[in-house]
């Protein structure tokens, strides 16, 4: 009898495995791919506003099952008359990338669908706006649309970057039964390996928000934004990849995105139509190899790199860049042709120096020499910065301008005034080169911190300190007499509500704080050696971790009563630490 039981158990086990294998075969029939993204259900945290008749609205804040059923327990009821309509505005706590799912109940009067209007918002004011109002738009991702809801069912719709959702019930003389309204958040389920903590809690929060902003944009590809600009913008990737190396370590979204940019830009095209973005592609490959040391992957870039270098060199005449295509650094500097020329001159030198290094590694001496010869000629010509912080930063970083002069004459003027969320990273880098670490931390606290003061949970496409005067928070209805920080400001392509509030290029402080305050920087290709040289300024301590291909580096720096910094450092045995 015992043997029969064992046989039956074994037989049932084999049958179960066979059925599972058959099921998997059926699910994977035809062309398919596996998504790298995780789906998570997120429920509203509060109700900001309502109008009309809404019964048991608090039910929408409860975690549900995601399943319709034949009872009408725990439903929220929106009631319309012939002349009145009911609406509700929900807050999901913080910005995420996701879609909306609505589960309905069993409303009286038959099983006809109900009609609603859905509006997403990165701010309350955006969720309360209509298309065309203060720049509100449906481009890249729908944020304002009508929807049918089934009786006793569910509907998943839309995908965008948002925190707030307004729902308007449109049908006259009818009732709408809502069991649940929840966000389907999509993200890469990866650990935050890098960490940062210091004696200034505001800097800690800024570091974390920068990391989170980039994490949201690590979707199928590495985007610049989750509402608008859900695209691979190559220049924008540079600060994002610095953050990924700092926080997450290796992730396939980076080479996947760099390859997409290469494959979609046959030469003589410029990536995204912008010459500097093709240059950033070269710098990114240098940075990626320094961190991860994948020479096989780098070899794959050799044919394109050779052609791109010759295209860049062909646009240099008598030592000066004459790039065609869109001539662009960042938006705030986009109307300053003098600054743009200075910035592109510096970017050309930077990219060709990195290309020379890569070409030497790949044993392409001809390309290496072409790069170095062009750089020698270009360094004889130093353009005017025109008091542009963007231009001065790049000139200082590439050594075309003395870093102390760049700081004293340009970067420190007005403090955080005329900073930008994208090129602010390079301004901070230039300040670090001049030894102005505390001054840079003050800028980070003032400029990036101001967005947090306004209710931000992610960093924005752009920001201007002048907007702060009498400004409303983004997580409240705009009070009478206050300025709408989202709808009333912005410029260029990001006017009003079109302005993206989760832009990965704004994450610069995250990698900067780890590189200069913790002092951790890679100095040997493949992550084989790192310097650990802390700069605490007024901080009393700073500690954190940094991911490498061999494991985690841990540091803790403490300032004693005499001002001397005492450091604890732990690193994998494969890594050389240079103090």
Torsion (CA) 118, 119, 124, 128 in degrees, nearest 10? -90
DSSP structure class, residue 75:
-
Residue 487 has pLDDT above 70, yes or no: yes
Question: What's the whole-number mean pLDDT along residues 112-120?
Answer: 98
Per-residue pLDDT at 27: 52
Residue 369 has pLDDT above 80, yes or no: yes
Torsion (CA) 81, 84, 90, 95 in degrees, nearest 10? 130
CA distance 492 to 501: 15
Pairing of strands 529-532, 576-578: parallel
Q: What is the mean pLDDT of the chain?
A: 95
Percent of the chain with pLDDT strictly greater than 70: 95
Per-residue pLDDT at 30: 67
The three-class DSSP label of residue 281 is helix
Confidence of residue 67 (pLDDT cuts 50, 70, 90): very high
Q: Which residues contact 23 (CB under 8 A, 6 or more apart)?
A: none
- The tens digit of pLDDT for each residue in 330-367 reads 999 999 999 999 999 999 999 999 999 999 999 999 99
Residue pair 502/95 in contact (Cβ under 8 Å)? The answer is yes
Residue 443 has pLDDT above 80, yes or no: yes
Tell whether domain 195-461+500-541+547-556 is in CATH 1.10.287.470.
no
Residue pair 207/214 in contact (Cβ under 8 Å)? The answer is no
- Helices vs. strands in the chain: H and E counts, helices first: 15, 18
pTM: 0.94
- The tens digit of pLDDT for each residue in 13-38 reads 444 444 544 444 455 566 778 899 99
Per-residue pLDDT at 353: 98
Distances (CA, A) of 402 to 382, 410, 434: 11, 12, 9
* Selected residue with higher pLDDT from 104 and 21: 104
DSSP structure class, residue 225:
B
Q: Which CATH class is domain 38-187?
A: mainly beta
Residue 6 has pLDDT above 60, yes or no: no
Question: What's the whole-number mean pLDDT along residues 220-225?
Answer: 97
Structure tokens at 24: 């998997």
Residue 3 has pLDDT above 50, yes or no: no
* Exposure of 169 in the CB half-sphere (CA atoms within 13 A): 30
| Residue that is written with structure tokens 């004696």 in the block | 199
Question: What's the whole-number mean pLDDT along residues 496-508?
Answer: 98
Question: What's the whole-number mean pLDDT along residues 233-259?
Answer: 98
Q: Extract long-range pairs of 555-560: CB within 8 Å, 24+ residues apart.
A: 555/518, 555/519, 555/520, 557/518, 557/519
Distances (CA, A) of 564 to 80, 90, 128, 541: 69, 51, 54, 11
- The tens digit of pLDDT for each residue in 296-318 reads 999 999 999 999 999 999 999 99
Question: In b/e form, how buried is each residue of 382-421, taking b as 16+ CB within 10 angstroms?
Answer: ebebbebbbbbbbbbbbebbebeebbeebbeeeebebbbb
Closest to 42 measured CA to CA, from 208, 213, 181: 181
Structure tokens at 226: 């989750």
Per-residue pLDDT at 5: 44
Structure tokens at 357: 């290094």
**How would you class 24 by CB atoms within 10 Å of its CB: exposed for 0-12, middle for 13-18, buried for 19 or more?**
exposed
* Exposure of 459 in the CB half-sphere (CA atoms within 13 A): 33
Confidence of residue 109 (pLDDT cuts 50, 70, 90): confident
- The tens digit of pLDDT for each residue in 37-65 reads 999 999 999 999 999 999 999 999 999 99
CA distance 393 to 390: 5
Q: Where are the alpha helices (DSSP H) in 362-436?
A: 365-378, 389-397, 403-406, 424-433
Per-residue pLDDT at 29: 61
Per-residue pLDDT at 33: 82
Per-residue pLDDT at 344: 98
- The tens digit of pLDDT for each residue in 536-550 reads 999 999 999 999 999
Closest to 100 measured CA to CA, from 139, 56, 147, 138: 147
For the chain, give every domain's residue range. Answer: 38-187, 195-461+500-541+547-556
């Amino acid at each position: 009898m015992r043997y029969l039981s064992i046989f039956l158990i074994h037989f049932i086990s084999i049958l179960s495995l066979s059925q599972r294998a058959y099921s998997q075969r059926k699910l994977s029939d035809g062309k398919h791919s596996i998504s790298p993204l995780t789906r998570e259900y997120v429920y509203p945290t509060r109700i900001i506003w309502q109008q009309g008749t809404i019964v048991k609205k608090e039910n929408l804040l409860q975690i549900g099952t995601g399943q319709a059923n034949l009872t009408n327990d725990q439903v929220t009821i929106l009631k319309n008359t012939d002349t009145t309509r009911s609406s509700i505005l929900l807050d999901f706590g913080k910005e995420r990338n996701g879609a909306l799912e609505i589960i309905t109940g069993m409303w009286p009067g038959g099983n006809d669908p109900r009609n609603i209007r859905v509006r997403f918002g990165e701010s309350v004011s955006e969720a309360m706006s209509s298309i065309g109002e203060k720049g509100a738009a449906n481009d890249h991702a729908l944020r304002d649309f009508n929807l049918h809801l089934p009786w006793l069912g569910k509907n998943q719709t839309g995908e965008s970057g948002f925190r707030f959702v307004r729902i308007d019930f449109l049908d006259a003389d009818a009732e709408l039964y809502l069991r649940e309204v929840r966000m389907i958040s999509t993200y890469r389920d990866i650990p935050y390996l890098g960490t940062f903590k210091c004696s200034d809690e505001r800097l800690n929060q800024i570091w974390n928000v920068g990391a989170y902003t980039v994490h949201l944009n690590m979707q199928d590809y590495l985007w610049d934004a989750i509402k608008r600009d859900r695209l691979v913008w190559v220049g924008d990737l540079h600060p994002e990849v610095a953050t990924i190396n700092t926080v997450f370590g290796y992730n396939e979204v980076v080479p996947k995105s760099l390859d997409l940019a290469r494959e979609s830009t046959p030469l003589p095209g410029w990536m995204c139509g912008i010459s500097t973005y093709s240059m950033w592609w070269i710098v990114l490959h240098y940075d990626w190899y320094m961190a991860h040391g994948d020479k096989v992957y780098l070899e794959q870039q050799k044919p394109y790199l050779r052609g791109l270098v010759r295209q860049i060199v062909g646009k240099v005449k008598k030592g000066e860049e004459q790039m065609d295509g869109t001539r662009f650094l960042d938006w705030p500097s986009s109307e300053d042709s003098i600054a743009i020329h200075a910035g592109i001159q510096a970017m050309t030198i930077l990219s060709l120096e990195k290309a020379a290094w890569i070409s030497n590694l790949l044993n392409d001496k001809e390309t290496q020499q072409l790069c170095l010869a062009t750089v020698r000629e270009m360094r004889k010509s130093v353009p005017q910065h025109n008091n542009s912080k963007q231009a001065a930063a790049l000139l200082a970083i590439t050594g075309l301008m003395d870093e102390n002069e760049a700081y004293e004459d340009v970067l420190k003027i007005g403090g955080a005034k005329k900073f930008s969320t994208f090129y602010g990273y390079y301004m901070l880098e230039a300040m670090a080169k001049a030894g102005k670490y505390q001054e840079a931390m003050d800028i980070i606290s003032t400029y990036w911190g101001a967005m947090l003061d306004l209710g931000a949970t992610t960093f924005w496409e752009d920001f201007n300190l002048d907007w702060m005067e009498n400004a409303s928070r983004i997580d409240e209805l705009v009070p009478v007499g206050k300025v709408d920080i989202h709808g009333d400001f912005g410029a260029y392509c990001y006017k009003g509500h079109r302005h993206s509030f989760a832009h990965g290029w704004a994450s610069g402080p995250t990698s900067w704080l780890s590189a200069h305050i913790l002092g951790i920087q890679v100095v040997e290709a493949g992550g084989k050696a790192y310097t650990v040289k802390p700069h605490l300024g007024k901080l009393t301590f700073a500690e954190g971790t940094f991911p490498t291909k061999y494991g985690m580096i841990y540091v803790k720096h403490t300032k004693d009563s005499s001002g001397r910094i005492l450091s604890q450092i732990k690193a994998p045995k494969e890594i050389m630490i240079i103090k």
